[in-house]
Structure 1
Amino acid sequence: MLILLLGYAITHSVHGEAGPIPASIESCDVASCDGLNSQRSIWSIIWSCLSTIFLCTWVAVHPNVHFRPEKRSQGWLEKWLWDPLHDFVTYKLVLFLWALLVPEYILAWAVRQYVKAGAISKEVPEWTRTHGFFMIMGGFHLFRLPADARSTPFPLKSSESSDFVISTGLHLRRDEIPVCPLKLEDFPVDILKGITPGETELKDKGKSDALTKIIVLVQTLWFVIQCIARGTQRLPLTELEVVTLAYAMLNFFIYAFWWDKPRNVECPIRVYKASAASHKESGKSADIWHDWSLPWLENIIYYTTGRQDRFVTVSERPSIPMFWSGRMADRDLGLAGLGPSILGAAFGAIHCIAWSSEFPSRAELVIWRVSCVGMIVVPFLVAMVCAGWANGRDGTLPLWFQFLLLASLLIGVPLLILSAWLYLAGRIATLVIAFSSLRSLPPAAFMTVDWTNFIPHI
């Protein structure tokens, strides 16, 4: 539905009132345009914005390992068409839509993984944050060897016993049976030290490097500089450029927290157990979902605060969950969500740059302003919930401050539940209006920045 609306908006904007704009620009008073003579087309605006949004919503996302076991006797149509298409629709497209509609949640996910990866890196000698990221994202997967495969127990320096083995015979890799992803608690430290590649090898498994990330950041930074330059020369920004500017702001933070995480890893490291060995997930067992009459209400609360991982049994999954960050304490979850929520409110506030812009109709102006308010208020409510969740039960805080945090939690949760739909509607509305408003732009919006004004000269 969203794609159809955006397609209609682009077509209507280009074939609507975009045609006579160059004539309007030619009739623009030179003095009123500060001597600017160069012009930009509507297509250059669309291309610049869409390429930047794509970088911020597709390239910037570092997914977990979406492991897909190899299939036997697979036809070429299934291998080259159906499986890639199914993977794209059910996984990559879903992540793209999340990043497009709720970019603050992607940022919160990145922050949670950053915090958890740092904690994991301290538990294993010589591990870095990259190793921690690789563990969280499902980089280690348990396989059972075929019944006739030869193996030897993994040698351990400590007195711990382990069912992990080393394959010592020859067999086909496709005969190995995938079991489940592994968590840090499933491993003795000696095994991790023996099977884990170095940091450079882990980064090599990713589909991007530091140069690629720098290019993305430079492209995004260049767009931001252009927007600032237009503001200094009092040239209007289109609503599409305002939306893109908001994405660019969050993109910097997402990239910063995921800088050390390998991107688009599809094949995890195989860890073996004998065919007759059983596997029981180590660590704290998953919590039981409450039998609520409104399960969607529970999902909103848990996914908003990042507590959904507590209800996941990884040993029952063929691959790591999409938004898995590892189980964290309530205080850590609250603190990890507080910053992204505040930045989410700033993301909505950036849209207010177009608060007094010239919209093609009064209805679009009203919808834009209401959407801006919703995109500021809802993340602010999430920040209230995270603050109360993180410190509401901290006995070291003053009593009045604990009461204030508890009140923010009690007020924020009901309001968040009631207004969550407003945020999503506001995001869709601003995206559609950003394209539909291109059909009627002021002449100055087509003027390019005169960069010579920024160069000192006599």
Structure 2
Amino acid sequence: MLILLLAYSILQTGQSEAGPIPASIELRDVASYDGQNSQRSLANVVWSCLSTILLCTWVAVHPNVHFRAEKHNQGWFKKWLWDPLHEAFTYKLPLFLWALLVPEYILAWAVRQYLQAGVISKQVPGWTRTHGHFMIMGGFHLFRLPADAPSVPIPLKSSKLSAFSVSTGHHSRRDEVPVCPLQFTDVPVDILEILAPTETELKDRGKSDALTKIIVLFQTLWFVIQCIARGTQHLPLTELEVVTLAYAALNLFIYVFWWDKPQNVECPIRVYKTSTASHKESGEKAKEWGEGWASRWSWMLIEYTTGAQDSYVTISEQRSIPMFWSGRSGNDLQGIAGVGTSLLGSAFGAIHCIAWSSEYPSRSELLLWRVSCIAMIVVPFMVLIVCAATITGENEEKGWSGWIKFTMGIMAIICIFLLILSAWLYIASRIATLVIAFTTLRSLPPAAFTTVNWTTFIPHI
């Protein structure tokens, strides 16, 4: 909404305000500015950037299954208006804002799920990475059958009866009681082989197919190619185009890691237990946050930044899978995911430096842009150091020397302290670059409206 309001105000006032553009050059003029290239309008620039950003922050995100218990005998107002709006503002909008303000975190989430899905797919015969993604994203949900529903326990390969069952008679699904999402370790491999759909069936549950993803990828790549072409012809990029280029480059990696993950699945597969059967979450007991508010929030900031927050969640107590859940992977996988995404996060900030020496309407906007660029490079790099220290500290078998571990530990402590102090600066920098990207549209250099002369890339015969 903030982006749309800013775009509307710029489009209303951008052409009427005085700027460095000569009076003889109209934004809608299709005549050539330099005798060879045609002109593009401000509306063209804004629309191209906004559509690409929307693809990168809304369409590219593959959320987990947000389970909602079915409600019966609802009025039309709640069913068709209130519930969809409530879902949009409490789940989809926060996820969109995360992708808009902290796209590196979305990438880190995608990488963790990709690595964990690969681990899971190797443990079940016939499973692919798509199955692993579906398991992690909350695709299997435990339900209890009604007390009077006839059922039969599912036997394991060892002929031992499992706690899971199948209904053998008629019962109303309205009387089934949702319990909690299931983790991979909660269900025996034998049961998963029986209950899991095929890869084709899982992809059919998603709201997009390979063709849709390819179209989005081509549109994003086309924007990147246009930016590169403008650079080769020494045509300036607007700050809005630089911001969009950074989103496009980062989201290409998000698409790669989530390519096999079903998108926008809303209904999980029901796994049944009888009304009298108990359910106890397998694996280690979830950790607990500190008691003091200061240490609690500081530690939460560190754990969420490095992607270790899943260790503090008890899935059996959740109505739905957490928004950024990627499974309780080992510190090694978390460290690898953190190092790679932090490095890409710093590169994301470095792309904004393309506009380091651009013409700005005021010096304050120039200084604020440069400070924001530095913050967006340095903060992810500090996260990289913390993740690298985690890897060196956990991998005893790799024989890291004592002084390397000691040095990395000291650097990690310093970076953690700085992260606690500067986390707000990163968010402020992201907001500042978005705002400046629109405010600078009020006064652009004439060359910014010149389109690329594509004929120069075609060899003359």
TM range (shorter): over 0.9
| Distance of 1:42 and 1:259 partners within structure 2 | 34
Seen in structure 2, the aligned counterparts of structure 1 residues 207 and 11 have a Cα distance that, compared at 3 Å, is closer
1:409 maps to 2:412: yes
User: Is the 8 Å Cα contact of residues 138 and 268 (structure 1) preserved in structure 2?
Assistant: yes
Q: How does 1:291-370 map to 2 (within 5 A)?
A: 291-294=291-294, 295-370=296-371
Residue 174 of structure 1: CA displacement?
Answer: 1.8
What whole-Å deviation, never above 9, does each CA across 1:360-416 have from its counterpart, x for those lacking one? 111111111110010001001110111111212433112222122112211110111
Q: TM-score, normalised by structure 1?
A: 0.95
- Asked whether the 8 Å contact 1:13–1:437 carries over to 2, the reply is no
Partner of 1:286: 286
> Which one of 7, 11, 16 corresponds to residue 14 of structure 1?
11
- The corresponding residue for 1:371 is 372
SS at match of 2:108: helix
* Structure 1 residues 26 and 142, CA gap change in structure 2 (3 angstroms): closer
Asked if 1:119 is matched to 2:122, the reply is no
Alignment of 1:14-413 (within 5 A): 14-19=11-16, 23-25=23-25, 35-294=35-294, 295-395=296-396, 396-413=399-416
Structure 2: distance between partners of 1:17 and 1:43: 10
Provide Cα deviations, 1:74-118, integer angstroms capped at 9, x if missing partner.
Answer: 111111111111111111001100000000000000000011000
Q: Which moved more, 1:40-49 or 1:149-158?
A: 149-158
**Is 1:445 aligned with 2:458?**
no
Take 2:414 and 2:42, find their aligned partners in 1: how far apart are those partners? Answer: 45
Distance in structure 2 (CA, Å) of the matches to 1:335 and 1:268? 30
Tell me the distance in 2 between the aligned counterparts of 1:235 and 1:121: 48
User: 1:296, CA displacement in angstroms?
Assistant: 2.1
Q: Deviations over 1:296-334 (max 9, x none)?
A: 212211100111101111011111000000112222211
Worse overlay, 10-19 or 366-375? 10-19
Deviation at 1:34, TM superposition (A): 5.1
Which structure 1 residue ranges, 4+ long, deviate > 4 Å from structure 2?
A: none
Match of 1:415, as an amino acid?
L
One-letter amino acid of the counterpart of residue 413, structure 1: I
**How far apart are residue 272 of structure 1 and its match?**
0.5
- Structure 2 regions of 5+ residues with no counterpart? none
Aligned equivalents of 1:372 and 1:350: distance in 2? 9
> CA shift at 1:24, angstroms?
4.3
SS in structure 2 at match of 1:162: strand
Partner secondary structure for residue 141 of structure 2: strand
Give the deviation of 1:50 after TM superposition: 0.4
Alpha-carbon contact 1:13-1:440 (below 8 Å) kept: no
Find the aligned partners of 1:187 and 1:363 in 2 and give their Cα distance. 58
* CA 1:235–1:98: 2 relative to 1, 3 Å: same
Q: CA deviation at 1:37?
A: 3.6
Aligned length: 451
Q: Which amino acid aligns with 1:191?
A: I
The aligned amino acid for 1:419 is: S
Partner amino acid, structure 2, of 1:438: L
Q: TM-score, normalised by structure 2?
A: 0.95
Give the stretch that moved more between structures: 296-305 or 375-384. 296-305
**Structure 1 residues 54-63 or 328-337, which shifts more?**
328-337
Render the CA deviation track for 1:157-177: whole Å, top value 9, x for unaligned: 225442111111112222211
Report if aligned partners of 2:62, 2:261 keep a CA contact under 8 Å in 1: yes
1:426 to 422, 426, 429: 429
Contact preservation (8 Å) 1:153, 1:166: yes
SS at match of 1:392: helix
**Other structure's SS at 2:293 match:** coil
Shift of 1:22: 7.7
Residues 133, 186 of structure 1: CA spacing in aligned structure 2 closer, same or farther, 3 A cutoff? same
CA–CA separation in structure 2 for the residues paired with 1:23 and 1:456: 36
Give the secondary structure class of the aligned counterpart of 2:162: coil
Q: Point out the more displaced range, 41-50 or 287-296.
A: 287-296
- Of residues 257-266 and 17-26 in structure 1, the stretch that sits farther from structure 2 once superposed is 17-26
- One-letter amino acid of the counterpart of residue 375, structure 1: M
Displacement after TM superposition at 1:72 (Å): 2.3
Relative distance call for 1:235 and 1:24 in structure 2 (3 A) is farther
- Native 8 Å contact 1:243 1:431 kept in 2: yes
| Matched letter for residue 199 of structure 1 | E
**Overall identity of the aligned pairs, in %:** 69
Q: In the aligned structure 2, how far is the partner of 1:171 from the partner of 1:43?
A: 58
Q: Using the alignment, how far apart are the partners of 1:78 and 1:12 within structure 2? A: 35
- Compared CA separation, residues 114 and 150, structure 1 to 2 (3 A): same
User: After alignment, is 148-157 or 134-143 more displaced?
Assistant: 148-157
Residues 187-214 of structure 1 show CA distances to partners (whole Å, capped at 9, x for unaligned) of 1111111111111110110001110100
